[in-house]
Amino acid sequence: MHKLINFLHDRLARGLPGRQAQVEMAPEPVSGGNQRKMNPPKDVHHSSVLVLLFPNEEQELELTLTLRSNDIDHGGQISFPGGRAEKGESSTETALREAKEEIGVDPQTVTIIGQLSDLYVSNSNNLVTPIVGYLDKRPSFTINPREVEEVFAVELQSLLHKKNLTVEDWNLHTYTYRVPYWDVHRVPLWGATAMMLNELLEITREFKPS
């Protein structure tokens, strides 16, 4: 596990798969509808999320996810903890602040491993920077119910081999889209969160334990 963390730290400092990995998990229009917009406009807002990893009792890495409260943006969907940047904040500062506000993670306990590629989310006009962090043990989560309905974790290994990966046709905004998602919760893990996660998984698959 520690070798994998060290590998990710070094690997994230080099060239990333970026859009090629992201679009593998993007909904694809089947009848009507448009391809996902990937290029941000000049007036885009900047946001960050924290992709938080920690070991379970078997020393397998788990990934922290939240189910957003219904009355906020992207409510009722699975996401990483995160939100919009405040003036003067770095991407890392935003991700850590939001994780503390949403699920009670102390920023001082998080080791920053690096960051993934930015992803433009057109519905909210946000350019999202995923920051990857690590805790040496499972935290005691404290949920902010105004923003988060539930916090849960999924073993990274269960996502790496795509055993929970499903593709279905959904009706979205009156059009049909072919939607890839991970079936790891009563709510599908899809959309922007899945696109960011897929880049991390593609990089992790490069790791060859000795």
pLDDT tens-digit series, residues 66-91: 999 876 565 689 999 999 999 999 99
pLDDT value, residue 73? 60
3-state secondary structure of 141: coil
Work out the percent of the chain whose per-residue pLDDT is above 90: 87
Mean pLDDT of the 35-50 span: 94
pLDDT value, residue 103? 98
pLDDT digits (tens, 9 = 90+) for 98-145: 999 999 999 999 999 999 999 999 989 999 999 999 999 999 999 999
On the question of pLDDT at 173 being above 90, the answer is no
pLDDT value, residue 72? 58
- Which of 51-55, 144-148, 195-199 shows the lowest per-residue confidence on average (mean pLDDT)? 144-148
Burial classification of residue 14, based on how many CB atoms lie within 10 Å of its CB (0-12 exposed, 13-18 middle, 19 or more buried): exposed
Side-chain-side CA neighbours of residue 3 (13 Å): 5
Residue type, 82: G
What residue ranges define each of the domains in the chain, with the CATH number in brackets? Answer: 2-204 (3.90.79.10)
Residue type, 1: M
DSSP 77: S
Buried b (16+ CB within 10 A) or exposed e, 187-197: bbbbbbbbbbb
